[in-house]
Amino acid sequence: MKGMKKFTTLFWVVLIGVSVFSCATGGETTAGKPAPETEKPAVQDGALTVDKALGDFMAYIAGRLPADSLTAVALMDAPAQRLGNYLTDELISRLLNDAGVRVVSRQDFERILAEQDVQADLNFDDDTTAKIGHNLGWGTIVFGTVNPLQDAYHLSLRAVDVETGELRGTKSYVLQSDATLASLVNPNVTVQQLTERESLLQPFDGKRNNFELRIWPSSQKNVYYDNDELFINLLANEDCYFVVYQVDIDNNMQVIYPNFWETGKNVLKAGVTRTIPEDTSFVLHAPYGEERILVYASQRPFTIPKDQYNPQPISKERLASPQALWRIESGSGDGSKALSVVPRGATGQFSYTILPK
């Protein structure tokens, strides 16, 4: 998502001539009662981490490959090149070191195909595979592709006999989002940084809430493409005030709602779903990768410090600061107790990934 400074151009364009509308849905309930159930993004059953999926395919395909011939793994087609490189190199390593399969390195595969003037894509037909097998003596080529789903990724792997074009085996997986996958989609963030981020953002996990609060993308999806719009749904079972933060792919955190264009509107009525923004829009752009939406809600109004509208790296010191909004109702008001100890509000979060079209 564009940073707040970049939001300025977007919102001014909206204000001077382009209108984007969204409608809140949901019905009234009695305050203090549980919030009504609404449809949630689909949960993928049987999802595996990237490493477990590759390990499963290695165990499955190793016994189907001829021991006396070479196996090549084509560069996998993925939304992010870093993800494709990782999947390709990791599968090669597992086949070689764990299964004892004779394999061609990714670098050699690409070099040889370039010399043969053959394009390394997923659309090898029988004639092409026969040509490769005849010229290079490879027995099998493994192809893979990763496609984004509504809230996950789908990995498809297939091993093709290069002489006959017949399949030696094929399997598909739904990839579970974890630090490894997120770091592969986020080009500038390491697994360690993402793991540290999850620890820092525990105050927003919603496990210590005083009342019910739900937030989710109104599109019911977690994968977006360049120039897509993001709208956020919020629902609580108590009247409350709220603030929305965005954490970008570089782990910078800032307030995105309320903002200069929609002030004084950060109020939720019990049992009524609210969709924001209403008079503007959040348009998603590069840099690509995983971002996070965080929400803090309080039954009392609060003042948002001006510096929280500026992107700043998340840190233990910042999240534990007495000026942090999620601390204003804790303890005696002096910031002596954090939300994680004695909450007097509610929090929630969700993540989404931005990809190039």
Can you read off the two tokens belonging to residue 128? 């092409």
What are 224's strand-pairing partners? 354
In the chain, what are the domain boundaries?
4-42+182-355, 50-175
The pLDDT tens digits for 57-77 are 999 999 999 878 889 898 888
Statement: residue 296 has pLDDT above 80: yes
Architecture of the domain defined by 4-42+182-355:
Sandwich (2.60)
Is the distance from CB of 295 to CB of 213 less than 8 angstroms? yes
Which tens digit of pLDDT belongs to each residue from 214-263? 999 988 777 788 899 999 999 999 999 999 999 998 889 999 999 988 88
Q: What is the pLDDT of residues 34-57, one digit of tens each?
A: 443 433 333 345 789 888 999 999
**What is Dmax (Cα atoms) for the chain?**
78
Say which range, 173-177, 190-194, 312-316, has the weakest mean pLDDT.
Answer: 190-194
Q: Which amino acid makes up residue 141?
A: I
| CATH class as words, domain 50-175 | alpha beta
Q: At what angle do helices 81-97 and 50-62 cross, to 10 degrees?
A: 40
DSSP for residue 35: P
Question: Could you tell me the pLDDT band of residue 326, with boundaries at 50, 70 and 90?
Answer: low
DSSP states of 139-202 as a string? EEEEEEEEEE-SSSEEEEEEEEETTT--EEEEEEEEEPP-HHHHHHHSTT--HHHHHHHHHHTG
